[in-house]
Amino acid sequence: MSIPDITQQLLTAKQSKGLSFTDLEQLLGRDEVWIAALFYCQASASPEEAQKLVQALGLGPDIALALTHYPVKGLGPIVPTDPLIYRFYEIMQVYGMPMKEIIHEKFGDGIMSAIDFTLDIEKEADPKGDRVKVTMSGKFLPYKKW
């Protein structure tokens, strides 16, 4: 998978400024996962949000404008046909790279174990319609150097 140029510019600027997604969460008043999704062109910012972000990162108005465009969501052409599985696939397409960035930022270079792993699915009552709550928990496994 190739990373879009704008994503690379945003990540480089964030790193050079020594900022985390949590820092940007405080600045924008948006969740860090949403901000990471914005970096990967999987979300769109308001003009005000885009301006705050590019000012904090020292980037230009061209980046601010690009961040306000409605994204084409998803990162690949393979689509499962089962509607429920498709939705999980869609979640990973939209939020997978942002999740990876935040996991690496918080833990370092490694993976979340799918062996030492738990997944909980809960039903949450909501007046607007019941909600599905999925909680995944996996042991962090750092990559070894040799």
Annotated catalytic residue within 20, 25, 44, 90: 90
CATH topology of domain 1-108: 434 Repressor (Amino-terminal Domain) (1.10.260)
Per-residue pLDDT tens digits for 106-116 = 999 999 998 89
Annotated catalytic residue within 46, 113, 131, 137: 113
Mark whether 113 is an active-site residue. Answer: yes
pTM: 0.74
Domain ranges of the chain: 1-108, 114-146
Q: How far apart are CA 140 and CA 36, in angstroms?
A: 20
Instruction: Fill in the amino acid letter for 42.
Output: Q
- Quick one: which H or E segment has residue 98? helix 83-107
Neighbours of 80 (CB within 10 A): 12
Up-side HSE of residue 132: CA atoms within 13 Å toward CB? Answer: 7
Per-residue pLDDT tens digits for 11-54 = 999 999 999 999 999 999 999 999 999 999 989 999 999 999 99
Query: How far is CA 1 from each of CA 4, 12, 93, 102, 143, rounded to the nearest angstrom?
Result: 9, 18, 11, 18, 20
Q: How far apart are CA 97 and CA 7, in angstroms?
A: 11
Length, in residues, of the chain: 146
- The alpha carbons of the chain give a radius of gyration, in whole angstroms, of 17
Mark whether 137 is an active-site residue. Answer: no
Annotated catalytic residue within 87, 122, 131, 137: 87
Whether residue 73 has pLDDT greater than 90: no
The confidence score (pLDDT) of residue 135 equals 94
